[in-house]
Amino acid sequence: MTDAGTWSAPGRVNLIGDHTDYNGGFALPCALPRRTTVLARRRDDGLLRARSAGATEPLEVRLPGVRGEVDGWGAYVAGVAWALAEAGVSVPGADLEITSDVPLGAGLSSSHSLECAVALALTGLADLEVPVPELARIVQRAENDYVGAPTGLLDQTASLASVADHLTFIDARAETALPVPCDLAAAGLELLVIDTRAAHALTDGAYGSRRDACERAATRLGVGTLRELTDDLDVDGALARLDDLADDPEAVRRARHVITENARVLEVVDLVRTGRLRDVGPVLTASHASMRDDFENSVPEVDLAVETATAAGALGARMTGGGFGGSVVALVDTALVAAVEARVRAAYADAGFAEPGFLTVVPARGAGRDA
Ligand code: GAF
């Protein structure tokens, strides 16, 4: 057993591949240079206590905890302890001091960075190294069954498995996460994240209804997940099969996004691997159009950021993450970043929207022990 230590886990920005993870598909995120850090000390009385710099109320539960006994920020901590126990992973009581500089509610995975840091801290105190795919599933269980957000495996896998200076190519069905080298600076490019400040939440039913429509489409087409429709890489053939769902236009639109988005992820992985980074831009913008028109999970603030950034010279831009607000990721020439920011800021002021936030991102290291 370890007496004390510090563990941290980053937020993520997803370059492309959204709402594909729970459909068994592909995504290409990287870790943000923003992290949640947990200073943990073992306790021998079976209590889990946590304080968060951003919260007034401390958390205290007796392990393993009871599902639903805590809500608010503490649910992400207690939920992980509960999910570890459910998976048969025995961890000790602990005192946790939590700090984070991941923007909250911005679609950049602040909650998953907290859950992953707590999972690593609790297993670290027990001297356990749980393999990434298993730990990702445990964090997913906390999120799905304790917090109540029906999310997939993208965010926790990105946080746990990412490598500095690399994108992370996730295959959700295979539960693999392969690092793809990505030297944006050498190409004179930046990843610019625009926090639209439009509220983003995954527990209010809109995310779940999208997921339900995808599952409905898969069931009616006789496949386990929508990913299976493009196992032969025949995207046109997969789209043609959607004719069988003509009486359910919502399911057609959702499935069309997933089918085309998986193909776009593979295209971007190929472009990045072959050094054609500038050609990634239009694929990002096409992905945004697919989310806006077929997945219908965009909002006016997000569309304005995408349109303004591309009009100001960004090579491409798209909403990132679950959607319904949150952040936009844009691929921008380094020399144009300041101009893009100024144009988006001005467009928001003209539209009467709250002032957006900006963050330039170099892919950072994934979760781990710091001290
Ligand atoms: C959220 C979820 F947590 C992920 O699992 C994923 O579905 C994403 O939305 C959309 O790609 O971040």
- Is residue 173 domain-shared with residue 227, that is, in the same domain? no
pLDDT at res. 201: 66
**For residue 246, how many other CB atoms are within 10 A of its CB?**
9
- Is residue 80 domain-shared with residue 45, that is, in the same domain? yes
Residue 311 near residue 301 (C-beta atoms within 8 A): no
Alpha-carbon Rg for the chain, nearest whole angstrom, is 20
Quote the ipTM score: 0.99
* DSSP structure class, residue 243: G
Residue from 20, 139, 155, 175 whose mutation best tests the ligand 1 pocket (most atoms within 8 A of CB): 155
Residue 150 near ligand 1, beta carbon < 6 Å: no
Residue 310 near ligand 1, beta carbon < 6 Å: no
Look at residue 95 and tell me if it is in a domain.
Answer: yes
Residue-wise pLDDT tens digits, 258-293: 999 999 999 999 999 999 999 999 999 999 999 999
Q: Which atom of ligand 1 is nearest to the CA of 21?
A: 7
- For residue 195, give the 3-state DSSP assignment: strand
Q: What is the mean pLDDT of residues 13-38?
A: 98
Residue 155 near ligand 1, beta carbon < 6 Å: yes
Q: What is the CATH number of the domain that holds 139?
A: 3.30.230.10
Residue-wise pLDDT tens digits, 207-251: 999 999 999 999 999 999 999 999 999 999 999 999 999 999 999
Rounded Cα–Cα distance for residues 109 and 198 (Å)? 15
- Is residue 142 domain-shared with residue 264, that is, in the same domain? no
Chain center to CA of 186 = 26
- Is residue 156 domain-shared with residue 36, that is, in the same domain? yes
Look at residue 285 and tell me if it is in a domain.
Answer: yes
* Residue with CA at minimum distance from ligand 1 atom 11: 18
Instruction: Give residue 91 CA to ligand 1 midpoint distance, Å.
Output: 28
Q: At 56, is the pLDDT very low, low, confident or very high (cuts 50, 70, 90)? A: confident
> Which of 124, 144, 179 is at the close of a domain?
179
Q: Which atom of ligand 1 is nearest to the CA of 27?
A: 11
Q: Which two tokens stand for residue 321?
A: 């993450």
Q: Which two tokens stand for residue 11?
A: 């937020």
pLDDT at res. 123: 98
Look at residue 264 and tell me if it is in a domain.
Answer: yes
Q: Which atom of ligand 1 is nearest to the CA of 20?
A: 11
- Is residue 245 domain-shared with residue 338, that is, in the same domain? yes
- Is residue 92 domain-shared with residue 139, that is, in the same domain? yes
Instruction: Give residue 321 CA to ligand 1 midpoint distance, Å.
Output: 5
* Residue with CA at minimum distance from ligand 1 atom 1: 322
The H or E element containing residue 157 is: helix 154-161
Nearest CA-CA partner of 24 in 251, 321, 258, 208: 258
Annotation says 370 is catalytic: no
The one catalytic residue among 18, 21, 155, 195: 155
Residue 10 near residue 162 (C-beta atoms within 8 A): yes
Q: What is the CATH number of the domain that holds 239?
A: 3.30.70.890
Percent of the chain with pLDDT over 90: 96
- Is residue 139 domain-shared with residue 8, that is, in the same domain? yes
Of 51-65, 89-103, 338-352, 354-368, which gets the smallest average pLDDT?
51-65
- Is residue 172 domain-shared with residue 39, that is, in the same domain? yes
Residue 116 near residue 160 (C-beta atoms within 8 A): yes
Query: Domain total for the chain?
Result: 2
Residue 108 near residue 172 (C-beta atoms within 8 A): no
Look at residue 209 and tell me if it is in a domain.
Answer: yes
Residue 77 near residue 131 (C-beta atoms within 8 A): no
Report the phi/psi class of residue 323: left, alpha or beta, with left for phi > 0 and alpha for psi in -120 to 50.
Answer: left
Residue 143 near ligand 1, beta carbon < 6 Å: no
Look at residue 139 and tell me if it is in a domain.
Answer: yes
- Give the relative orientation of helices 300-311 and 337-351 as an angle to the nearest 10 degrees: 140
Q: What is the mean pLDDT of residues 21-43?
A: 98
Percent of the chain with pLDDT over 70: 99
Q: Which atom of ligand 1 is nearest to the CA of 109?
A: 12
5 forms bridges with which residues in the sheet? 40
Instruction: Give residue 304 CA to ligand 1 midpoint distance, Å.
Output: 22
Instruction: Give residue 45 CA to ligand 1 midpoint distance, Å.
Output: 36
Residue from 13, 16, 19, 160 whose mutation best tests the ligand 1 pocket (most atoms within 8 A of CB): 19
Rounded Cα–Cα distance for residues 115 and 153 (Å)? 13
pLDDT at res. 285: 99
- Is residue 196 domain-shared with residue 339, that is, in the same domain? yes
> Which of 179, 195, 222 is at the close of a domain?
179
Nearest CA-CA partner of 182 in 75, 277, 54, 299: 277
Residue-wise pLDDT tens digits, 286-314: 999 999 999 999 999 999 999 999 999 99
Residue 21 near ligand 1, beta carbon < 6 Å: yes
Question: No. of H helices and E strands in the chain?
Answer: 10, 13
Residue-wise pLDDT tens digits, 193-218: 999 999 866 667 899 999 999 999 99
- Is residue 131 domain-shared with residue 203, that is, in the same domain? no
Rounded Cα–Cα distance for residues 147 and 6 (Å)? 24
Residue 154 near ligand 1, beta carbon < 6 Å: yes
* Residue with CA at minimum distance from ligand 1 atom 3: 151
Residue 22 near residue 151 (C-beta atoms within 8 A): yes
Instruction: Give residue 322 CA to ligand 1 midpoint distance, Å.
Output: 5
Q: What average pLDDT does the chain have? A: 97
Q: At 1, is the pLDDT very low, low, confident or very high (cuts 50, 70, 90)? A: confident
> Which of 144, 179, 214 is at the close of a domain?
179
Residue-wise pLDDT tens digits, 113-131: 999 999 999 999 999 999 9
Look at residue 369 and tell me if it is in a domain.
Answer: no
**What's the domain range around 74?**
4-179
Residue 115 near ligand 1, beta carbon < 6 Å: no
* Residue with CA at minimum distance from ligand 1 atom 5: 152
- Is residue 73 domain-shared with residue 222, that is, in the same domain? no
Q: Which atom of ligand 1 is nearest to the CA of 14?
A: 11
Q: At 253, is the pLDDT very low, low, confident or very high (cuts 50, 70, 90)? A: very high
- Is residue 158 domain-shared with residue 193, that is, in the same domain? no
Q: At 55, is the pLDDT very low, low, confident or very high (cuts 50, 70, 90)? A: confident
Residue 268 near residue 274 (C-beta atoms within 8 A): no
pLDDT at res. 84: 98
Instruction: Give residue 202 CA to ligand 1 midpoint distance, Å.
Output: 9
* Residue with CA at minimum distance from ligand 1 atom 8: 322
